[in-house]
Amino acid sequence: MTGPARYRLSDLAERFGGEVLGDPGTRVAGIASLRSAGEGDLSFLARGKFRESLRATRAAAVIVSREDRDATALPRIVCEDSYLYYAKVAELFQPRVDVAPGIHPSAVVSPRANVHPGASIGPGCHVADEARIEHGVFLGAGCVIGAGSSIGEGSRLHPRVCVYHGCSIGRRAIIHSGAVIGADGFGMALEGGRWRKIPQLGGVRIGDDVEIGANTTIDRGALDDTVIEEGVKLDNQIQIGHNVHIGAHSALAGCVGIAGSARIGRGCTLGGGAIVLGHLELADGVHVSAATVITRSIRSPREYAGLYPFQRKSEWVRNAALIRRLGKRPRDQRPADSEPGADRE
Amino acid sequence: MTGPARYRLSDLAERFGGEVLGDPGTRVAGIASLRSAGEGDLSFLARGKFRESLRATRAAAVIVSREDRDATALPRIVCEDSYLYYAKVAELFQPRVDVAPGIHPSAVVSPRANVHPGASIGPGCHVADEARIEHGVFLGAGCVIGAGSSIGEGSRLHPRVCVYHGCSIGRRAIIHSGAVIGADGFGMALEGGRWRKIPQLGGVRIGDDVEIGANTTIDRGALDDTVIEEGVKLDNQIQIGHNVHIGAHSALAGCVGIAGSARIGRGCTLGGGAIVLGHLELADGVHVSAATVITRSIRSPREYAGLYPFQRKSEWVRNAALIRRLGKRPRDQRPADSEPGADRE
Amino acid sequence: MTGPARYRLSDLAERFGGEVLGDPGTRVAGIASLRSAGEGDLSFLARGKFRESLRATRAAAVIVSREDRDATALPRIVCEDSYLYYAKVAELFQPRVDVAPGIHPSAVVSPRANVHPGASIGPGCHVADEARIEHGVFLGAGCVIGAGSSIGEGSRLHPRVCVYHGCSIGRRAIIHSGAVIGADGFGMALEGGRWRKIPQLGGVRIGDDVEIGANTTIDRGALDDTVIEEGVKLDNQIQIGHNVHIGAHSALAGCVGIAGSARIGRGCTLGGGAIVLGHLELADGVHVSAATVITRSIRSPREYAGLYPFQRKSEWVRNAALIRRLGKRPRDQRPADSEPGADRE
């Protein structure tokens, strides 16, 4: 998948900084992990990890952080942060995707939509009335852009992304397949034992440089907009409820759920499967571990965790029974509401 | 997004009931939250919440419940349930979507399908043999309706909904983008260390007035049908396994998972991320908190909860270690099966 | 949904083995659950379950495991594993889907793609440059196959599956609607408070006989490929991170999440909603209960569990408060970082 370009270590150091140890004329034509690198590949050592793989690697050269300066005798680039350096170098080896601007003949574009001639609209897309598609936008096959929505300059929507009406997406967004932006929030009121739908009249407003993972869903607001600020990164299968506000440069890992009207600060991180309940506020710089459920607002920028530790099933069965009774005084031992018998799964 | 219509408070009270305090001739042209309401907007106060926003609002008038009758000096409508009242009024301000009936030329509709002339089939839809699309149905761009499936009168499928063969959907359904109805249930039998697929021969049967969120999946039954009764509301990214039965007017929040053959009663609510394991039964009127895993059948209509409380990570590490050992006697302290070292995330 | 074919019990025993008790000439024309079986239907009794339904069934005959040989007086087939036997018989009653090979005129297939004439490409599909579609492949409506990707012989992709560029899928795959294979992994490096995307240069490699559920996502590798070995079965809404490796014949239930670079062994099972954190290794034959979070590598092939037991909400509130303080000495009782008040949900 790598292009034919070849770089000398000295070329890279000139471009991205760092100090070359060993032959600065060493040429690399690709980038690979330590384990799978072959002749002519550049690799990298993440801080303090994978030293064993480093010894066995067949890479031509490696990127190392300062503290690993002497961890290998291979030609190497020594830098502040080997992982960030790798990120930059990898961009050089990314296959170039040349996208011709224009509208594929099978796309259905409303005559009342506003599509920049420098945008590329793929096969089978549907762009509705008053939608605005800026210069350099790429819509993969089968994307749907609702009435009055706008997609900012240079944004790339992979196939089958769906944006409802009245939403705006900033510049340089990357949105992966199956993402749904602007579906109705889950709002309803009970009326005589039946649910009455509350019209969801707000939209979704997404800043610049946001990435949204595959099959992630972001609901429109009930009255105000749901807001995702600039630089936010959302992994796959995340659910963002209506009226949520996510501060700039926060990153949410896969399967996270944010319930309606929650406010996440700037620069927060949420581990995979974490849940934030509705109407809560998280301060800037809060870090939530995977699978943790946030049930109260958080004001201090620290790390928070809360998941049940796994163990052998036989031990868990015993411990879970003890936990159920933790707060019980003897006279509380009334029959349970649930069926007798061991917990199933 | 609001239309040009303007209503006097007295008009609203006439239509929806309630008592007007202040000038009944006050005109409102939109509905907005207390915080973002501007001149000419109507807003509402949810019971006992957001009193501070009420003081600062620039709304022209507000809807309040009886107990908040005197919480403001603004012109207001006093009613039993301000949230329900707001739901009704919001419908007035919903942008009207005029959908012309007919089949878009880019749609692929089997000549053996049965599409009512009063239905609207969007660009790129595919309607297979013997499918039946009733009057007033709207299929957004790229919907797929499988062979023999039926969509009841007045139902609205947003773009890219997929209904497999042999499923039936009632009247007035709202189904959001990316939902998949009728995919195979996860059924298989072990045969010499390999999995043998069990054909999923049942369908999915969905009652009237059901709403289904974006990217939610409802599997077809193995032999009998999976059943969603009338008035059920499903949020985004819910997974419903095969042969599940969900009773009328139950509401499931985002990311809920219901494993195969579970039966949920009528009028139940499940919080976001809750899980119900397979083959269990929940009585009518059971309420399950967010992120709670139901491992036994429940017979009493109460509230149930079970999630690990979050805390500072350093405290969690200590507590989690204690919980692992809760039921251990000293001699049980054998080496663990898992690798040593602190828990990662 | 059953075809017109009728089988005598003796026909089935000849084909699939087992012993017939009662009239071997009993004819069955369909297969159904004990509860819903009618005249002419064959049913089955899963081991030790549903004995009550067996007494009331109107089935013409049943499949039973050896230990249930005398559980009914109905004509029956006695076999080793009634569930597996049922799986085989159900195949006979599966409606046959005849798919004509060829490319639907509304599909957009690159002239540089390689589509076998024995493949069937449905309406609105998009097949990109250098993609390879083998004999007997079926692509449902709206599937997208990226540049250079390959789909092996006899694979069936239901409508709206999306495969990015540079991925390979083996033979006889079954992939359900909305699945996304090959989206970018969630890789980025912090650079002055902003996230810099790490190009995801690897692909996804999927073996033979894999089934992938609706709306499941499998990310491409950062440098190496993400690998799903032969015979793996993935349910709906599963998230597989980049560089994950899943060993042959493992089965993952709905809503499971596997974080980046985790390695799952062969023949493992993960219950619904389970999570495996990044960079961990699970040995062959590990079984993880539903909703359990794996936070360390596991070397022994046993059963593991770890979920918080649910109870009445009032009891949970009390117990959760105790758990928070489990490891606290009195002097630790400093004010919490989070807001006071009861836990919400």
Asked if B217's CB is within 8 angstroms of C211's CB, the reply is no
Query: Contact C169/C134 with Cβ under 8 angstroms?
Result: no
- The answer to whether the CB of A189 falls within 8 A of the CB of A198 is yes
Rg (CA), chain A: 25
What would the two tokens of residue C162 be? 């999306």
Cα A318 to Cα C115: distance, rounded to the nearest angstrom: 57
**Residue A194 main-chain phi, psi, to 5 deg:** -120, 155
Q: What percentage of chain B has pLDDT greater than the value 70? A: 93
Other CB atoms within a 10 A radius of the CB of residue A65 amount to 21
Q: What is the mean pLDDT of residues B152-173?
A: 98
Nearest residue of B to residue A296 by CA position? B310
Q: Do B292 and C310 touch (CB under 8 A)?
A: yes
| pLDDT > 90: percent of chain B | 87
Instruction: Please list every residue in chain B whose beta carbon sits closer than 8 Å to the beta carbon of residue C86.
Output: 189, 198
Rounded CA gap, C63 and C66, in Å? 10
Question: Chain A residues with CB inside 8 Å of B257's CB?
Answer: none
Chains that touch A (3 or more CB pairs under 8 A): B, C
Mutate to test the interface with A, among B120, B237, B281, B294 (most CBs of A within 10 A): B237
* Residues of chain A with C-beta less than 8 angstroms from the C-beta of C184: 174, 176, 211
Q: What is the pTM of this model?
A: 0.95
Measured between beta carbons, which residues in chain C are less than 8 angstroms from residue B345?
277, 295
pLDDT band at B2 (very low <50, low <70, confident <90, very high): very low
- What is the mean pLDDT of the segment spanning B287-312? 97
Cα–Cα distance measured from residue B339 to residue B335, given in angstroms and rounded to the nearest whole number: 10
Per-residue pLDDT of B62-105, as tens digits, reads 999 999 999 999 999 999 999 999 999 999 998 877 778 999 99
Residue of B nearest to C266 (CA): B193
Residue contact A309–B343, C-beta within 8 A: yes
Residue of chain C whose alpha carbon sits nearest to that of B108: C123
- State mean pLDDT over B159-186: 98
Judged by DSSP in three states, C53 sits in helix
Cα A221 to Cα A223: distance, rounded to the nearest angstrom: 6
Residue numbers in chain A where pLDDT is lower than 70: 1-4, 48-49, 329-345
Query: In chain A, what is the greatest distance between 2 CA atoms, to the nearest angstrom?
Result: 80
Query: Annotated catalytic residue: which of C126, C158, C176, C242?
Result: C242
pLDDT digits (tens, 9 = 90+) for B29-63: 999 999 999 999 999 998 766 778 899 999 999 99
Residue C345 — pLDDT band, cuts 50, 70, 90? very low
Q: Are B165 and B148 in contact (CB under 8 A)?
A: yes
How far does Cα A189 stand from its chain's mean position?
32
Dihedral angle sign, alpha carbons of residues B332, C262, A228, A150: negative
Residue B209 and residue C9: Cα distance in Å, rounded? 44
Residue of A nearest to B260 (CA): A345
Instruction: Give the pairing type, strands C226-228 and A263-264.
Output: unpaired
pLDDT of residue A113: 98
* Complex prediction ipTM: 0.94
| Domains of chain B, earliest start first | 7-92 (3.40.1390.10), 102-304 (2.160.10.10)
Count CB neighbours of C327 within 10 A.
Answer: 18
What's at C203, amino acid-wise? Answer: G
Point out which residues pair with C239 in neighbouring strands. Answer: C217, C257
Element (H, E) at C251: strand C251-252
What gap in Å lies between CA A323 and CA C291, rounded to an integer?
17
Residue B240 C-alpha, separation from nearest chain C C-alpha, in angstroms: 9
pLDDT digits (tens, 9 = 90+) for B220-265: 999 999 999 999 999 999 999 999 999 999 999 999 999 999 999 9
Chain C residues touching A142 at Cβ < 8 A: 124, 126, 142, 144, 160
Q: How far apart are CA C305 and CA C287, in angstroms?
A: 9
Kindly determine whether residue B324 and residue A304, on different chains, have CB atoms separated by under 8 Å: no
Subunits in contact with chain C (3 or more CB pairs closer than 8 Å): A, B
